[in-house]
Amino acid sequence: MVVGVALLILLAAGAVTLISRASHERALAKETEQSSIPTVAVVHPLAEKPDEELVLPGSLQAFAESPIYARTNGYLVRWYKDIGSRVQEGDLLATIDTPEIDQELNQSRAARQQIVAQLELAKISADRWENLRKSDSVSAQEADQQTSGYKQAEANLAAADANVRRLEQLEGFKKVYAPFSGVITKRNVDPGALINAGAGAAGRELFDMARVDPLRVYTSVPQAYAPFIRVGASTTVTLQEFPGQRFLAKVARTAESIDPNTRTLLTEVDVPNRDGRLLPGSFGEVHFAVGSNVNKVTVPVNAMLFRSEGSRLAVVGPDNKVQLRPISIGKDYGTTLEVLAGVSIQDQIVINPPDSLEDGQQVNIAPASPGQGQDQSAAQPQAVPQSTRQEENIPEQQQRNAQRQPGQQRKPSKANGSGQ
């Protein structure tokens, strides 16, 4: 019986051990699973006061810009306009000497004269053989051959005329004219330089021209403000080199489509530039009048995720799963960014998100720091009562008196001595 009881005790102990081990393994597995889930810190976006003017950066560009190439081969004789020269359409820019073209033109004209003489002879022969055919002196075959020779001579003359016109046209290209009114921005050749026609590997541009009145300003309008942009609407442009001045402009056209990568609307603004004060390539700011009902928030700059598909913010949902939301960025305040669309003040956005964070990934939210929300007075030192400080100093005073030498003991006062 004792053996049976001992056996039961051993079985019970083994069962308890197995149950404890299984429970420990389940707890360890759960802990391992929890540790594999990343922990992130979150913040809420802050609401920003809406404004009625949208200011966006833009780049000033020439209304029309084109390189000027030669259309014939030769040597540059002279240029008449240099960089910065304002020219009108049709103004002479340069002249080119073309000795080869000149010789070819002379040869083609001489060849044409030969063909004209051959044509006259062919016409006389054709008429004579036609009269002989009528009198049955020659066969119709022989007369037709003479007529065919005459027509061939006519075709040769037409080809010679076309060749002469082609070379005369190339001769006309010896003078280079301005294709439109504007400003010379580059001059790449000097007198005596070898000039090759066209824009191929051998050819090079003679001048660069730009039409600078008006100027184009291209800017990207965030999606939230796109409904307020109207073609023909008045705007203003400012440049840092002209402080306090605003240049009137108008919205010329828009892309009529939102870029899916940047969530912006490409917009062109035209600025009159009759006096030429504004220079192509300058940086400026475009001021649009917009409505005040655009809900804007600001987020920390370290909450941004820059992916190949565009800017994203990692938002943690109620189920602690991440949503990578595309956003429309407005102004850059340095440590914070203005977000025009994509998140609201109720959302929880991840700060310092890891690059490996994926859409739909499970995360744990880090608890708030212990020092947050505490009363600042608790951290300040409390004032010690004056009586307490005096009592603490009594033992210290007695110790200093005990350390004095006998000769240094304080003598009793005369008043005390007379009283004894």
At 163, which helix (H) or strand (E)? helix 140-172
3-state secondary structure of 390: helix
pLDDT at residue number 415:
39
The gap from C-alpha 65 to its chain's centroid, in whole angstroms, comes to: 21
Count how many domains the chain has.
Answer: 3
pLDDT, position 290: 80
> Do 278 and 303 reside in the same domain of the chain?
no
Residue 368, pLDDT score: 59
* 3-state DSSP assignment of residue 104: helix
pLDDT at 375: 36
Predicted TM-score (pTM) of this structure: 0.53
Chain segment 310-336, per-residue pLDDT in tens: 889 999 998 989 999 998 887 788 899
DSSP secondary structure string for all residues of 33-100: HHHHS-EEEEEPPEEE---SEEEEEEEEEEEEEEEE--SS-EEEEEE---TT-EE-TT-EEEEEE-HH
Residue 37, domain member (yes or no): no
**Single residue among 120, 146, 171 that ends a domain in this structure:** 171
Single-letter amino acid code for the residue at 360:
G
pLDDT score at 94: 94
The domain that contains 339 carries what CATH number?
2.40.420.20
For every one of its 420 residues, what pLDDT tens digit does the chain have, with 9 covering 90 and above?
Answer: 666 666 677 666 666 676 767 666 666 666 665 567 888 899 999 987 766 788 899 999 999 999 999 988 899 999 999 999 999 999 999 999 988 888 888 899 899 888 888 888 888 888 777 777 777 777 777 777 878 888 888 899 999 999 999 888 888 888 999 999 999 999 999 999 998 887 766 678 899 999 999 999 999 998 888 888 999 999 999 999 999 999 999 999 999 999 988 889 999 999 999 988 999 999 999 999 886 656 678 999 999 998 888 889 999 998 989 999 998 887 788 899 888 888 888 999 999 998 888 888 899 888 755 443 333 333 333 333 334 344 344 444 444 444 444 444 444 444 344 333
Neighbours of 284 (CB within 10 A): 24
Q: What is the pLDDT of residue 4?
A: 64
Domain boundary among 316, 340, 365: 365
Task: Give CA–CA dist 214/272, Å, rounded.
Answer: 4
Q: For residues 284 and 217, state if they share a domain.
A: yes
260 occurs within a structural domain: yes
Looking at the structure, tell me whether residues 284 and 313 fall in a common domain: no
Instruction: Give a yes or no: residue 166 inside a domain.
Output: yes
- Residue that finishes a domain, picked among 289, 317, 340: 289
CATH code (residue 266): 2.40.30.170
**129-143 pLDDT per residue, tens:** 777 777 777 777 777
Note if the bond before 214 is cis, omega within 30 degrees.
Answer: yes
Look at residue 145 in the predicted model and tell me its pLDDT. Answer: 80
Specify whether 270 is located in the same domain as 319: no
* Structural domain of 123: 99-171
The CATH number of whichever domain residue 117 belongs to comes to 1.10.287
Distance CA 73, CA 173 (A): 9
d(CA 54, CA 328): 14
- Claim to verify: residue 243 and residue 268 sit in the same structural domain: yes
